[in-house]
Amino acid sequence: MSKKSLFTFVLLMPFAFANVTMAQETILDTSTFDRSVRPQDDLYLYVNGTWLQNTEIPADKSNFGSFIELADLSQERIRTLIEKTAESEHPKGSDAQKVGDFYKSFMNVELVNEKGISPLQEQLEKIRSLGSHADVLKYFGTLQKMGVKTPVGFGVTQDDKDSTRYIVVIIQSGTTLPDRDYYLKDDENLVAARKALKTYIEKLFDLAAIENGESAAESILELETKLAEVQWERVKLRQAEKRYNLHSKEMLTELAPKLNWDEFFAETEVAAFEELNVMTPSFFESVSDIFVETPVEVWRQYLQFHLIDAAAPILSQLFVDAHFELHQKQLSGTPQQKPRWKRAVDAAAGAGAGDFGVMGEVVGKLYVEKYFPPESKARMDQLVKNLLRSFGQSIDDLTWMTDETKKRAKEKLAKINTKIGYTSKWRDYSKLVIEPDDLFGNMVRSQEVEYRRMIEKLGKPVDRDEWGMTPQTVNAYYNPSLNEIVFPAAILQPPFFSAKAPEALNYGGIGAVIGHEISHAFDDQGSKYDGDGNLVNWWTDSDREAFEKLTKQLVAQYEEYEALPGQNVNGKLTLGENIADLSGLAIANKAMNLSFADNPPKKFAGWEPKQLFFVGWSRVWQRKYRDDELSKRLKNDPHSPSQFRANGPVMNIDAFYEAFDLNEGDRLFKPEEDRIKIW
């Protein structure tokens, strides 16, 4: 991706790097570079090629790279904090007691193995007692509190068209495999996945001493295939206006008349509401018939399986192994399980975006006290201000947008709220009971506390201080309903950000991440929300048409990328992220140049700042995937594979051509008139 005139670049670089100091090498590790590749032909391989050749994906991972290395560092730090807490005595009911005792309960593998399937016996008996379809639907409601999958995905979230209130939502769910394609297409790996699912169901039934596992596996696969057939495809599912379908309870009953919704909602404990958002109405219309046409005995088998599947990672080792064989080994190609301490840390602290674990914000508080200095937040504040100012100038300079829509875009930009590092209002865990010898009970009680935290939002003002990630998460996000950009503490480290690094590297790293999240406010879906977080059209028809013409060009560019033989990137599924990458990188580059206007920086280790910027961008995307994991992501991940995230945007950015002197014939060259400029 980052390009420059090849001939000149190849001649100069060996000399420049011959004089690199040790400190400079620490800041910019050039041992990852592949000098046999020209940056004008492939920026990603130029910056990461040697690393890709020499790096093996760790046996307990499906993919590995910059994000994962930083997540591993976060995990190691959290382990130290948790184990130190677990070694000391703390008052019963204190947060420290709960963190330490939860970790002890997870690590007591002998006791967990001794208990076997017994923690599930009460619920399995309840499932065996279900005698009618009405009983089954009611039990769907019960399982919501335990986080167990059923065909009805249920939640309480912010109303897309009234951002001041919370609303009940239901959405399609109920299948085990990662995407509907796994049930409906006959690619070799998808057929193998279905076979593995049946084997897994049989194994769980055998371990739980439940009869007829083989026939149950056939029936459950058949049922999940029917559900998959009526599920929305992911491209449709990500379209905000199609997901918003306000219904009264009466309208829901008319839509899906064979489901007793009153019984279901009574069991979820949110019966007292007047309207809800049915996010996938056609799915529930079809499920109404599927539900009653499926014998109660099959539903009992289905519910037994999903209950055990959900609990398997915290049951005895035989269940853990079976769960791993399907979910990690078969579907992601991961050959080896994570060590138990890693799984314990993930369970306690959360394992990624949207996952708060059992005590995620308690651990987060410990994390920021030790690893997030105030000066990092101050530097980020300034970077964000620079990026927002740059985005505003870019809106002014747009040639395809009218002044009327520009004005509204800048009004939305001015209302973006920024959250950096960690929450200002930590979660309360006082109602959570944790015992050192009851892993299963701890997990169930945690799920119930979080479930109640969610449903108790109904009828209350929207909490604009709430975070959707823990501080120790290596990620960032934009929330359209709150019109906010959020940067957890753990991402504010190299290679994204370093106080010792040249500003050009920081702008190419964390600067582009900031630009990416700002750009989500104006991507193909985020642009449908106004500055207050409401799903409302603030565009003129002509401007939206011009915008969509540009985005179609981006779809076409990315759909040309073949990630695996015969498997290309889905340009429509990844459109929002590709817009954010392109626009975020362009805005970060503009912000960098604005910051350098009065004080131009010197070269660093032979690099011009304009080159360092793109090197910084490319090294962020250093990553290797196992084929099964990559194949899965091509079906269900709205992000493009890392090599295309590195190379795809720069082809459209004039500054890249200037930095590396690109010419016609270079592989990353696009004629100027074909370069896509959106924001």
Buried b (16+ CB within 10 A) or exposed e, 272-306: eeeebbbbbbebbebbbebbeebeeebbbbbbbbb
What does the pLDDT average to over 124-150?
A: 97
What does the block give as tokens for 581?
A: 């990458």
Q: What pLDDT sits at residue 35?
A: 96
What is the percentage of the chain residues whose pLDDT exceeds 90?
A: 92
Residue owning tokens 């905000």:
240
What range does the domain containing 415 cover?
A: 373-423+467-649
Residues 418, 473, single domain; the answer is yes
Strands, sheet with 484-488, edge to edge from the N-terminal-most edge strand: 417-421, 484-488, 477-479
DSSP tally for the chain: helices H, then strands E: 31, 11
What does the pLDDT average to over 76-80?
A: 97
Residues 383, 514, single domain; the answer is yes
Residue 537 is assigned to a structural domain of this protein: yes
Helices 133-144 + 121-128 axis angle, to 10: 150
- Does the structure show a pLDDT above 80 at 2? no
Report the C-alpha gap between 112 and 437 in whole angstroms: 9
CB count within 10 Å of CB 347 equals 23
Residue 474 is assigned to a structural domain of this protein: yes
Residues 240, 386, single domain; the answer is no
From the list 83, 104, 81, the residue with the least C-alpha distance to 372 is 81
Q: What pLDDT sits at residue 371?
A: 94
From the list 243, 229, 303, 228, the residue with the least C-alpha distance to 277 is 243
Report the C-alpha gap between 558 and 652 in whole angstroms: 12
Report the C-alpha gap between 232 and 245 in whole angstroms: 14
Least confident segment among 6-10, 48-52, 361-365, 592-596? 6-10
Phi then psi for residue 211, to 5 deg, are -75, 165
Residue 560 is assigned to a structural domain of this protein: yes
From the list 361, 362, 364, 359, the residue with the least C-alpha distance to 348 is 359
> Binning pLDDT at 50, 70 and 90, where does residue 435 land?
very high
Residues 321, 402, single domain; the answer is no
Residues 529, 635, single domain; the answer is yes
What does the block give as tokens for 69?
A: 């290395």
Q: What pLDDT sits at residue 8?
A: 27
What does the pLDDT average to over 544-552?
A: 98
Residues 402, 330, single domain; the answer is no
608-611 own/partner pairs: CB under 8 Å, 24+ apart: 608/659, 609/502, 609/503, 609/504, 610/504, 610/655, 610/658, 610/659, 611/2, 611/4, 611/659, 611/660
- Does the structure show a pLDDT above 80 at 17? no
- Does the structure show a pLDDT above 80 at 6? no
Residues 230-278 pLDDT 10s: 999 999 999 999 999 999 999 999 999 999 999 999 999 998 899 999 9
What does the pLDDT average to over 353-366?
A: 94
Strand partners, 478: 485
From the list 470, 271, 236, 238, the residue with the least C-alpha distance to 353 is 470
What is residue 279's DSSP assignment? S
CATH code of the domain in which 476 resides:
3.40.390.10
- Does the structure show a pLDDT above 90 at 384? yes
What does the block give as tokens for 254?
A: 């008319």
- Does the structure show a pLDDT above 90 at 500? no
Residues 293, 389, single domain; the answer is no
Report the C-alpha gap between 172 and 212 in whole angstroms: 28
Residue 65 is assigned to a structural domain of this protein: no
Instruction: Find out whether 318 and 447 touch, Cβ atoms under 8 Å.
Output: no
What does the block give as tokens for 159?
A: 């109303």
What is residue 170's DSSP assignment? E
94-97 own/partner pairs: CB under 8 Å, 24+ apart: 95/359, 95/362, 95/429, 97/434
List, as one string, the DSSP characters of 183-201: HH---HHHHHHHHHHHHHH
> Binning pLDDT at 50, 70 and 90, where does residue 13 land?
very low
CATH code of the domain in which 262 resides:
1.10.1380.10
What does the block give as tokens for 407?
A: 């004005």
**How much is the CA Rg of the chain, to the nearest whole Å?**
26
> Binning pLDDT at 50, 70 and 90, where does residue 14 land?
very low
Residues 322, 377, single domain; the answer is no
What is the percentage of the chain residues whose pLDDT exceeds 70?
A: 96
Q: How many domains does the chain have?
A: 2
Residue 97 is assigned to a structural domain of this protein: no
List, as one string, the DSSP characters of 314-358: GS-HHHHHHHHIIIIIIHH---SPPPHHHHHHHHHH-SBTTB-TT
Least confident segment among 347-356, 427-436, 545-554? 347-356
What does the pLDDT average to over 168-183?
A: 98
Q: How far is CA 136 from CA 213, 297, 405, 462, 594, in A?
A: 20, 10, 51, 33, 62
Q: What pLDDT sits at residue 520?
A: 98
- Does the structure show a pLDDT above 80 at 475? yes
Using a 10 angstrom Cβ sphere, with 0-12 exposed, 13-18 middle and 19 or more buried, the burial of residue 564 is: middle
Q: What pLDDT sits at residue 9?
A: 24
What does the block give as tokens for 505?
A: 């590297």
From the list 390, 404, 385, 557, the residue with the least C-alpha distance to 485 is 385
Residues 132, 278, single domain; the answer is yes
Q: What pLDDT sits at residue 646?
A: 98
- Contacting residues for 314 by C-beta, under 8 A, at least 6 apart: 106, 112, 347, 439, 440, 443
Residue 358 is assigned to a structural domain of this protein: no
Local structure of 671: helix, strand or coil? coil
Residues 542, 595, single domain; the answer is yes
Residues 162, 302, single domain; the answer is yes
Judge if the upstream peptide bond of residue 495 is cis by omega within 30 degrees of 0. Answer: yes
Residues 504, 579, single domain; the answer is yes
Residue 213 is assigned to a structural domain of this protein: yes
The secondary structure element, H or E, covering residue 49 is helix 43-54
What does the pLDDT average to over 117-131?
A: 97
| Size of the chain in residues | 679
Q: What pLDDT sits at residue 451?
A: 97
Report the C-alpha gap between 130 and 139 in whole angstroms: 8
Spacing of C-alpha 659 from chain mean position: 32
List, as one string, the DSSP characters of 54-80: HPPPPTT-SEEEHHHHHHHHHHHHHHH
Instruction: Find out whether 485 and 499 touch, Cβ atoms under 8 Å.
Output: no
Report the C-alpha gap between 13 and 38 in whole angstroms: 11
The secondary structure element, H or E, covering residue 649 is helix 642-650
> Binning pLDDT at 50, 70 and 90, where does residue 351 land?
confident
What does the pLDDT average to over 341-353?
A: 93
What does the block give as tokens for 399?
A: 């040639």
Handedness of CA 365, 367, 372, 373 (dihedral sign): positive
Residue 596 is assigned to a structural domain of this protein: yes
